[in-house]
Amino acid sequence: MLEGLNIGLGITGSFCNFPRIKGLIDELKKERVNKIIPIVSLVTKTYDTRFFVKDNFLDMLKRETGQNIIDNIVDAEPIGPKNMIDIMIIVPCTGNSVAKLASGITDTAVLMATKGHIRNNKPVVIGISTNDGLGANFKNIGLLYDTKNFYFVPFRQDDYHKKPKSLVLDYSKVIDTVKLALQGEQIQPLFV
């Protein structure tokens, strides 16, 4: 079902999730997609963390996708007008990015790419990863959940004892979510 499609892969700054991105790219390649275009937020392209050295991570993205990385608003803007992608996947998507999407703010490459893509009436899949998903960002998740063309990867509380408001996507459900989103359906159940 994904064969031949062009995928926009937006990556925002939930750094602890970065080690899982190569596996997601491998899964998309197994589905025989035509192209995976990596699009990264400013913090993703800027910071070294305890989870990844930024240059190693960016090199991996470029190597594994075979594409140049879109890392600024100017380069992200043509995605919509040129109809460059069939579906936008934002994994991981931080609470900050969810809040900005819900408010129409486009101040990173990922958000600009999403804005341009949405104008073409095509799906956006969000893989949430945030420490405030059941707190301040719960309203933003609800708003996007009820907005046309936005679909969520099923998620769960990642540590309900130490971080009771924290949510993280289920990576094993990304491909299934994408397939259903392309048909205009939200995968269920949403809470794992």
pLDDT, tens digit (0-9, with 9 covering 90-100), for 141-163: 999 999 999 999 999 998 889 99
How high is the pLDDT of residue 16?
85
Cα R_g (the chain), whole angstroms: 15
How distant, in Å, are the alpha carbons of 99, 102, 104 from that of 143? Answer: 10, 7, 12
Size of the chain, expressed as the number of residues it contains: 192
In the CATH scheme, what is the homologous superfamily, with its name and number, of domain 6-181? Answer: Flavin prenyltransferase-like (3.40.50.1950)
Q: What is the pLDDT of residue 106?
A: 95
**Across residues 177-182, what is the average pLDDT?**
98
Is residue 189 reached through a cis peptide bond, with omega within 30 degrees of 0 on the bond before it?
A: yes
Return the percentage of the chain with pLDDT > 70, whole number.
100
Confidence of residue 93 (pLDDT cuts 50, 70, 90): very high
Q: What is the pTM of this model?
A: 0.96
CA distance 106 to 114: 9
For the chain, which residues make up each domain, given as ranges?
A: 6-181
Reference 98, options 148, 34, 51, 145; nearest CA is: 145
Q: What is the pLDDT of residues 26-76, one digit of tens each?
A: 999 999 999 999 999 999 999 999 988 999 999 999 999 999 999 999 999
What does the pLDDT average to over 93-99?
96
Contact between 88 and 122 under an 8 Å Cβ cutoff? The reply is yes
User: What is the structure's pLDDT at 188?
Assistant: 97
Extract the tokens encoding 60: 């991996």
Of 18-22, 124-128, 174-178, minimum mean pLDDT range: 18-22
Instruction: Indicate the average pLDDT of the chain.
Output: 95
Predicted pLDDT at 15: 87
